[in-house]
Structure 1
Amino acid sequence: MTRIGFLYTRLRAEEKYLLEELEKRPNVELVRVKDDGHFFDISRIPEPVDVLFERSVSYSRGVYISKIYEANGVKVVNTPQVAERCGDKYVTSQILVQNGIPTPRVLMAFDEESALAAVDAMGYPCVLKPVVGSWGRLLAKVENRYDAESFIEHKAALGVNHQVFYIQEYVDKPGRDIRAFVVGEEPIAAIYRTSENWITNTARGGIATNCPLTPELSDICRRTAQAVGGGLLAIDV
């Protein structure tokens, strides 16, 4: 009998589907682990498990709790190392650049004046993003110098976490992008995310439709998965 821990914040549709499948397995004992409402002892885990599936909504909770389980001998999916590589946009971009994988140009700055200079150097339009964040939140398309001054001043006022300025080249896509899904290092499916807005995330209203896995798409997904360390991955193209 394999004991599988399931770390979660709340049960969204995806978590419910995963739990339904796990509960069908006769050789699996499921242990649900909530990521809030209690504390964790770093020298031991609450209940012994063989594997932990990490499904926290919070990036930081997921990483730290995964590290506790991994340090106590539990295999974690995804590993905290992969989560850190994929959860921090700077780290992800640096890995892609180092591995020769095509990715938008990125400039980093750590004060308002340097951030303005970086935006000017990148050219307009460009995109300001938080280094940690998901679901298309707190993104800004910077169209001109006035926008840059306003957005950068606003970000600086949000606190120290937003004073790391990640400035990315704007990619003029045809009203859609691609999200591909990888298991281990093997692409298994892909969707188009279509929106009239420049932000195509489905969490922000983007419409998902099937996208064929072409050899070119599969190749870039494999290379990306290998670069970050594999796992259960969603790759935006």
Structure 2
Amino acid sequence: MSATPERPGDRRIAVLASRVGADEKRLFDAFDRRGVPFDHVDTRRQWFLAGQRDQPWSLALNREIGQVRAAYAARCLTAAGVDVVNSADATEVCGDKWRTTMALEAAGVPTPRTALGLTPQAALAALDSIGYPALIKPLVGSWGRLVVQLPDRAGAEGVLEYAAALPGPQSHLGYVQELIEKPDRDIRVIVVGGQVLGAVYRTGESLRTNVALGGQTRLCEVTPEIDKLALNAAAAVGADIAGVDLIEDRDGRLLVLEVNHRVEFSGFQSALADRVDVANHIVDHLLERAQR
């Protein structure tokens, strides 16, 4: 970590992560290969003094897995004059499914029909409008956790009755979405610094195709439509580094499901093999940001 840096000045890059997984190790190796000094900052042990601006870093890569810690860490570092990638705004938008949906809709990016009920009863009315089968998803969450398929109104009533009994007020909001009839796959596209690095198909044995849950990946050709949709989606949420998830409806039309600000890329990297080095592209982007 002490080699001569490729960027001006002698301040280091912070990599925020409470969990060091395969992707973080790839990033650490890429920093070392490039001779870029960095500090792994475990957010579980990090604290900030209000008004303090003398941080040892000029740039931070936010890899924190906990959404609340990621957002607050980004806010604190930004207030201290540190350039954070992804930005606090992008982290907060991507970390909330409804805010993501609103950003995509405002930018004209095609998405499944989606509604937010401010109470479980209102969510049930929204589902009557959208139609069944449908999905209900938590506003905050990853890896497809707590996503429930609702076959009909009776099933929705049961799920929403349970939601109404939960203590947290956010749990009473109903983020509901039409269920798209699609092939047994979705598409993950990785965008770094306004450039599409590639795309993969993800397949699984259930509704969820996340690689972390056992989903498989294979190469997907990046068509002009995929390229445009992914870039527009990343721009809509303000993310420099993004994992954009697309699905195909029964007519072959592509829709954007969500945009991930802390993109996991092990499965993507495995499918693309030597075609692209995601970690190296991320380091390239950080070095470009440091030059600005």
TM over 0.5: yes
Q: Return the letter of the residue paired with 1:112.
A: P
Question: Which residue matches 2:85?
Answer: 77
The correspondence for 1:130, drawn from 116, 121, 138, is: 138
Q: Return the letter of the residue paired with 1:10.
A: R
Deviation at 1:36, TM superposition (A): 0.7
Q: Which has the higher contact order (CA 8 A, sep 6+)?
A: 2
Question: Which residue matches 2:278?
Answer: none
TM-score, reference length from structure 2: 0.77
The correspondence for 1:42, drawn from 29, 47, 50, is: 50
Alpha-carbon contact 1:184-1:231 (below 8 Å) kept:
yes
Q: Return the letter of the residue paired with 2:211.
A: T
Cα distance in 2 for residues equivalent to 1:181 and 1:117: 36
Deviation at 1:117, TM superposition (A): 1.2
Question: Which residue matches 1:6?
Answer: 15
Cα distance in 1 for residues equivalent to 2:219 and 2:11: 34
- The one-character-per-residue Cα deviations of 1:163-203 (angstroms, maximum 9, x if unpaired) are 11101111111100001000122111111111231222222
Alpha-carbon contact 2:187-2:245 (below 8 Å) kept:
yes
Deviation at 1:2, TM superposition (A): 4.3
Question: Which residue matches 1:86?
Answer: 94
Cα distance in 1 for residues equivalent to 2:112 and 2:54: 43
Question: Which residue matches 1:226?
Answer: 235
Q: Secondary structure at the match of 1:226?
A: helix
Greater shift in the superposed pair: 141-150 or 111-120: 111-120
Alpha-carbon contact 2:53-2:79 (below 8 Å) kept:
no
State how 1:98-137 maps to structure 2 within 5 Å: 98-137=106-145
Q: Return the letter of the residue paired with 1:134.
A: S
Question: Which residue matches 1:217?
Answer: 226
Alpha-carbon contact 2:59-2:83 (below 8 Å) kept:
yes
Cα distance in 2 for residues equivalent to 1:98 and 1:192: 27
Tell me if 1:147 matches 2:155.
Answer: yes
Cα 1:102–1:194 shift into 2, 3 Å:
same
Q: Return the letter of the residue paired with 1:216.
A: E
Cα distance in 2 for residues equivalent to 1:119 and 1:143: 11
Which structure 1 segments of 5+ residues have no match? none
Number of residue pairs aligned between Structure 1 and Structure 2: 236
- The one-character-per-residue Cα deviations of 1:36-75 (angstroms, maximum 9, x if unpaired) are 1353223226841011110111011001011111111111
Greater shift in the superposed pair: 102-111 or 46-55: 46-55
Question: Which residue matches 1:23?
Answer: 32
Percent of residue pairs identical: 38
TM-score, reference length from structure 1: 0.94
Question: Which residue matches 1:173?
Answer: 182
Q: Return the letter of the residue paired with 2:174.
A: F
Alpha-carbon contact 1:45-1:68 (below 8 Å) kept:
no
Cα distance in 1 for residues equivalent to 2:205 and 2:33: 40
Q: Return the letter of the residue paired with 2:107.
A: N
Cα distance in 1 for residues equivalent to 2:154 and 2:30: 51
Cα distance in 1 for residues equivalent to 2:79 and 2:193: 22
Question: Which residue matches 1:163?
Answer: 172
State how 1:164-203 maps to structure 2 within 5 Å: 164-203=173-212
Which structure 2 segments of 5+ residues have no match? 1-9, 247-292
